[in-house]
Chains A and B, each alone.
Chain A
């Protein structure tokens, strides 16, 4: 038996008794002898550990478990209420801030509709579009008649 074989066998089978083949091998191999001795110490040690008396659950164990279940349920519900309350407070703060912003901002703006200046400019554009021709050089002469105005000149808005 080779050293590797012997160690693999010990690790895989973890035998109760050291097999004869292992005994033969370790008799002539100092390193494996130490390995086999360590294995023996662990095996005996585990047996001693397994024989150690296990503590018994103390009297009223089940009652205490149920009490702890009740406590954890209370904790969970308190935690839930705290979390829910915190969310209500946050939502109220956000709502109040939105209202304040709505009151503080001017009544016109990009979201509210066209500003006064835009209305004024639109009117001005309407006036100029109707009276002054655009790109006179590129338009057909129309036999010397008045230049043709753009089609949307009446509305003053882009199509």
Chain B
């Protein structure tokens, strides 16, 4: 008990020092939040090779904008907003420059995955099929618009609640729900197209 408020007070102190241009204090904040930012960036962008570079860029942006942080929300939420906005910009550029094709999956894998989807208690997927399914859904995500990817990534991969997503994206709850609904619908339509073209 008492360690959390002390930690928060320490964090506030670091933020205030960073706002005055103290890089050492900002370095301590980076140490605190690097894993969280890295995880968020990776889940949204899904590029292992670029996650670290992007996470560094997020911190650089955060340092430049840290004077605009007004302590109304937790620093972590503010930093998440910077990270999500940076990923969103990246995804928009990336989608324009990269065409992603549907992933080819073996018929057997498709059948096993469908059986597992219909009956989660039934036969488990082996690691190879798990990897195939990850690649497949990852490809579907790559094809989705940046807006869908961000909202689905935060909800389905980061496991955030609608309220938390609304706080990060500065939207109201109903807008987040509408966006989630739309994104899921588009993903299902894309999956249907893949099934029909198979």
Residues of A within 8 A of B (CB): 11-12, 14, 17-18, 34-46, 48-50, 52, 54-58, 61-66, 68-70, 72
Contacts and interface: CB of A to CB of B under 8 A. Distances in A.
Given A56-B38, A72-B60, A49 B188 contact: no
Contact of A42 (B26, B31, B134, B137): B137
Interface of A is mostly: helix
B118 interface: yes
Contacts of A36: 118
A62 B62 CA distance: 13
Chain B interface size, as a band, is 35 or more
A157 B35 CA distance: 87
Contacts of B38: 54-57
B130 interface: yes
B169 interface: no
B176 interface: no
Contacts of A65: 27, 30, 56, 59-60
Interface string B60-78: 1001000000000000000
Contact of A48 (B23, B43, B134): B134
A50 B52 contact: no
B48 interface: yes
Contacts of B42: 54-55
A44 B120 contact: yes
B138 A40 contact: no
Contacts of A40: 114, 116-118
B179 to A, nearest CB: 12
Contacts of B136: 45
A17 B180 CA distance: 19
Contacts of A50: 43, 156-157, 159
A57 B27 contact: no
Contacts of B23: 66, 69-70
A38 B177 contact: no
A49 B195 contact: no
Nearest to A43: B117
Nearest to A76: B64
A125 B57 CA distance: 79
Given A37-B117, A40-B117, A46 B137 contact: yes
